[in-house]
Structure 1
Amino acid sequence: MSETTVTPTRTISARPAEDPLVEPIRTRADAEAFIAKICFKIGPPRLAGIELERLIYDSTDPLAVLTPERLASALGRWSPPILTTPSADPTALGRPLPAGSTVTVEPGGQVELSTQAWGTFADCLAAADTDADAVRAALARSGLAVGHSGIDAHRPAGRIVEKARYAAMERYFDRDGNDAGRLMMGSTASVQLSVDAGTETGEHAFAERWRTLHAAGPALVAAFANSPIYAGAPTGWYSTRQRVWLRLDPGRTSAADTSGDPRAAYARAALDARLLCLPNDSDRWDAPAGVTFGDWLDGALDRPATYADLEYHLSTLFPPVRAKGFLEIRYLDAQIGDDWRVPPAVLWTLLTSRQTRDAALAAVEPLGPPDWPGAWARAARLGLTDPDLARAASALLAIAIEGADAAGLPRAVARQITGFAERYTFRGRTPADDQLEENR
């Protein structure tokens, strides 16, 4: 894992001529080898990072559309330059938070906190706690409140950050003829865990860690579903956020094939994905419609693709588990209040040992393969009203509770998992049920 869970994308024009990443890629096999090398960095699992994304509202008027200037003023020295400088790199960061995390702002004004990569999960949680409190207090002083849902329950989707990358993304997704791209960019929020990929073989074999994260995905999507209301109205889905991802470009967002070598499957999917945008010095980053990176390798554009181009392309893929040298688990809704600690703690515990991993796989085996979109759509639509999903989710939470000590979870967090399970999962309920009851 890199030193931080934030991985800034690169623009080709910023690279010196001697940089090897500006070299043209000669063959598809060379591209696949590069992807395998940089996306799955093999080594003993020891690091963890958390990304906590939240929707932001005016404390007295949740329907109000925020401005970049107001967000920048509230965040102060932690604000990324993108909010204040029109020409700023969209990946540029403000000053670190008290425990070292950094803040980014998504196109719709969502504020995302990204911790450093920590050597213990307990340290990672403590840093996220400290920095989340700092951000929440700063926003509150400016009359802003942190949201508690995976999708905007009050306002329709809207983009407030004007950048060439985001404008190109918006036009790209609009070509598919639905509003999912605008919803994803402007109205969704998640809690994510990043972990080391694992070792080549042995107790923490990366292929088995990869398989576990995908196999448990639908049951955990159902357990932590927390986005049933969008723009004031119930959608009929427990996780509307997950529904948004299901409606996006499947070549960019689908779950990976877990039946074989993850590196080969991920490389194939990456090269078969369409180009999202092409960074350049103008304000139009649009890529030619329908052209995949593999097409580019075959000469579809007027210059050869370089390794820098491929590195940037990889940053535009959004599968449920993204390989970035480490594994970024992206499929869980943002949670209410401090319940954000529970999903990453559960995921961490399920990966702690071969024993917990095997138990997790056994728990979800009755659900069948985590095929995309089928299994994921079922979980997002039905939540724990589906008896099979309810049984699998309860088993996964029970495994996490039993394995909390061995996983090194702080006792307070272990108690929080138990409280969450007793309040929701073991009763066949999700956080979405609370929102639906309040709405009724």
Structure 2
Amino acid sequence: MSGSYSDGGGGAVIESTEQMAAHLARGCKPRDQWRLGTEHEKFGFTLKDHQPLPYEGEGPTVRKMLEGLTRFGWEPVLENGKPIALKREGASVSLEPGGQFELSGAPLENVHQTCSEVNGHLKEVKSVADEIGAGFLGLGFSPKWSLEDTPLMPKGRYGLMKAYMPKVGKLGHQMMFRSCTVQVNLDFDSEATMVKMFRVSLALQPVATALFANSPFADGRPNGFLSYRAHIWTDTDNDRTGMLPFVFEDGMGFERYVDYALDVPMYFVKRKGAFIDATGQSFRDFIARKLPALPGERATIEDFDDHLSTIFPEVRLKTFLEMRGADGGPWNRLCALPALWAGILYDDASLEAAWQLVKDWSAEEREALRLGAARTALKTPFRNTTLQGIAKQVLAISRSGLRARAKLNGHGENEAVFLDDLEAIADSGRSPAEDLLQRYHSGWEHSVEPAFTDCAY
């Protein structure tokens, strides 16, 4: 959700929808240049009383975390004179609306490198956090804090979003301030490959939701869901979320996605570093110089990229594909997500096997899986099986793909080693959230406070 760090309005002026489709098509890369970019979010909290970190003030703060991390070569990014992000060697650390720390990893060749990056980042974060009395939590939803308890970070776009969210859904503020995810970005080599990847990954996002379900608590008690984060997206803003049935229709391609994006209401326009409120307005009007927020102003390719960053379907297309269906969690599952999707999407045989699995699923079935995965995870029924049965098939496909990729670490192991934890989850039929609930009702004595130890990095 962080968006770009430019002053806004850069790039070529948009003259046609074909120009925007061509911009997306520039993401096509030869297969030897395909990379993995992994992103993950985590909740910062005070060790003393398990409260969320404020942006600034006495005691441990978000600002102190950002400033402390600069010792590791991170360059601060300022907005109105305040650090709101960090940059280093193709990666960034940014802030989500409620202060969630997000690592947007560099594009890397394999999951071994990704896992090394994640581990290095968590060590740096822990080094600074220990000094200031902070900790970081690996869950998909904040288990304790109310919206009123959660601070708003000083980023202009978040103020606009906060005001707009209640107009279009009931749970948008919960998404903004109280949720955390792990995501992976993947490349494609052609429009046809992109479409096939898009269809397969959209259909299978509920499998990722079920395997990674890790958000069973809210306001200090069970919330009735295994992935409450996933449930929140069903009532955030239906104009910009969901399973995108059109992706499975004839004619899907870059231009079709542009048509969809242009019909998603805008949030903002960025000019000279300032965010101008354009909530609910039309990007089509912007192209035609008729945007009420900026009459006569022409939209640019950079404006289009900013607009794309405000669209939140289960899989998102930019100049890459972004997998968005998983809850945040412990470090080993931060490495497991890129392994899962690389195994499915980056090997031709595995991609075809996955397509054969999902190609006859209806839009209604895909939506039912999305809704069911949030509540019952692997126990969600599907045809004559469950999501557990589907997950086992998907993991076998992914493992085969990772073996074929043959990306080895120093011990001669391929990337399939990162699927071991997911396979144990699938074999058990129990999501991580169900294990947390068992602990809540037994060893935790009906309190979420132990999560701040047991689920901390």
Shared fold, TM over 0.5 = yes
Trace 1:198-347 onto structure 2 (pairs within 5 A): 198-200=189-191, 205-256=193-244, 257-259=246-248, 260=250, 261-280=252-271, 285-287=276-278, 290-297=280-287, 299-301=290-292, 302-307=295-300, 308-347=302-341
Verify the 8 A CA contact 1:194 1:328 in the aligned structure 2.
yes
**Which letter does structure 2 place at the counterpart of 1:109?**
G
Matching residue of 1:44: 30
Aligned CA distance change for structure 1 residues 100 and 127 (closer, same or farther; 3 Å): farther
Sequence identity percentage: 26
The one-letter code of the counterpart of 1:240 is Y
Q: Secondary structure at the match of 2:38?
A: strand
- 1:115 is aligned to 105
Cα drift, residue 300 of structure 1: 4.8
SS at match of 2:321: strand
Moved more, 110-119 or 156-165: 156-165
Contiguous gaps of at least 5 residues in structure 2: 442-457
Check 1:160–1:428 CA distance in 2 against 1; reply closer, same or farther (3 A cut): same
Distance (whole Å) between structure 2 residues aligned to residue 352 and residue 177 of structure 1:
36
| C-alpha contact 1:225 1:431 (8 A) present in aligned 2 | yes
**How far off its partner does 1:356 sit?**
0.9
Matched, 1:176 2:168: yes
Unaligned runs of 5+ in 1: none
Q: Give the deviation of 1:80 after TM superposition.
A: 7.2
The alignment status of 1:195 with 2:181, answered yes or no, reads no
TM-score by length of 2: 0.81
Aligned AA for 2:166?
Answer: D
Q: Secondary structure at the match of 1:104?
A: strand
* Larger fraction in strand: 2
Partners of 2:369 and 2:380 within 8 A in 1: no
Q: Confirm whether residue 130 of structure 1 aligns to residue 132 of structure 2.
A: no
Q: Residue 271 and residue 412 in structure 1: after superposition, are their counterparts in 2 closer, same or farther (change >3 A)? A: same
* TM-score normalised to structure 1 length: 0.84
**Structure 2 counterpart of 1:194, which letter?**
N
Q: Distance in 1 between matches of 2:272 and 2:403?
A: 52
Tell me by how many angstroms 1:367 deviates. 5.3
CA distance in 1, matches of 2:205, 2:281: 30
* Aligned amino acid, residue 48 of structure 1: L
CA deviation digits over 1:267-291, x for unaligned, max 9?
1111000011233569773225x42
Q: Distance in 2 between matches of 1:177 and 1:427?
A: 35
User: 1:117–1:240: structure 2 CA closer, same or farther, 3 Å change rule?
Assistant: same
Q: For residues 282 and 6 of structure 1, what CA distance do their matches in structure 2 show? A: 14
In the TM superposition, what is the alpha-carbon distance from 1:342 to its structure 2 partner? 1.1
Change in Cα spacing, 1:310 to 1:367, as seen in structure 2 (3 Å) is closer
Q: In the TM superposition, what is the alpha-carbon distance from 1:372 to its structure 2 partner? A: 7.0
Say if 1:44 and 1:188 are closer, same or farther in 2 by CA, change over 3 A: same
Letter in 1 for 2:19: A
Q: Does 1:361 align with 2:363?
A: no
Q: How many residues align?
A: 414
Cα RMSD for the two superposed structures: 2.9
Residue 67, structure 1, aligned to residue 89, structure 2: no
Q: Contact conserved, 1:40 with 1:263, CA < 8 A, in 2? A: no
Letter in 1 for 2:355: L
Q: Contact 1:215–1:361 at 8 Å: present in 2 too? A: no
What is the deviation of 1:304?
4.3
Q: Alignment partner for residue 395 of structure 2, among 394, 397, 402? A: 397
Deviation at 1:336, TM superposition (A): 2.4
* Compared CA separation, residues 152 and 224, structure 1 to 2 (3 A): same
Cα deviation for residue 192 of structure 1 reads 0.9
Q: In structure 2, what residue type is equivalent to 1:170? A: K
